[in-house]
Amino acid sequence: MANALINAPKTARRGDTIEIKALILHPMETGFRPGTNGTIIPRNIIEKFSARWNGEEIFAMSFSPAIAANPFVSFFTVARESGRVDFLWTGDQDFRVTESVIITVT
C-alpha cells in the first residue's frame, strides 16, 4: 500500500543522529463521535507504530484516539550501519501497513 510516507536521509555518517519522519493515511476515528444518523461511529484507530533497523527495534509508540487523523511521527536515531529500516503500523479492524527505506551509512 502506498499510503505511507517516510522522510529519512538516504545517506548518513556513522554515529550521526538522524531524524526520521513517518506519515500514514488513516482516519483515526475516535469512537466518541455521533454520525449523521445519531449513532456513534465505531472506533477505528492505529494503536501501534514501530520502526526496526536491520531487525532491531529502534522506536515504538502506542497511540490513543487523541492522535490526529493521518498520524505523523518524528523521532531520532543513531546511524550505526547501512541497512533497511522497516516501519509497521497496526490497529483496529486488522489494520496493518508496512513501509521500508534503505539508509546508507558511510
Distance CA(25)–CA(19), nearest Å, equals 20
Instruction: Write down the least CB distance from residue 57 to another protein, Å.
Output: 8
- Are 101 and 6 in contact, with CB atoms under 8 Å apart? yes
Which three cell numbers mark 72?
Answer: 505523523
Instruction: Write down the least CB distance from residue 74 to another protein, Å.
Output: 4
Q: Which is nearer to another protein, 73 or 100 (CB)?
A: 73
Distance CA(88)–CA(42), nearest Å, equals 23
Binding site for another protein (CB under 8 A): 17, 21, 28, 30, 32-36, 41, 53, 56-69, 71-78, 80
34 DSSP 8-state letter: B
Instruction: Write down the least CB distance from residue 17 to another protein, Å.
Output: 4
Q: Which is nearer to another protein, 30 or 90 (CB)?
A: 30
Q: Which is nearer to another protein, 78 or 102 (CB)?
A: 78
Q: State the residue for C-alpha cell 555518517.
A: 13
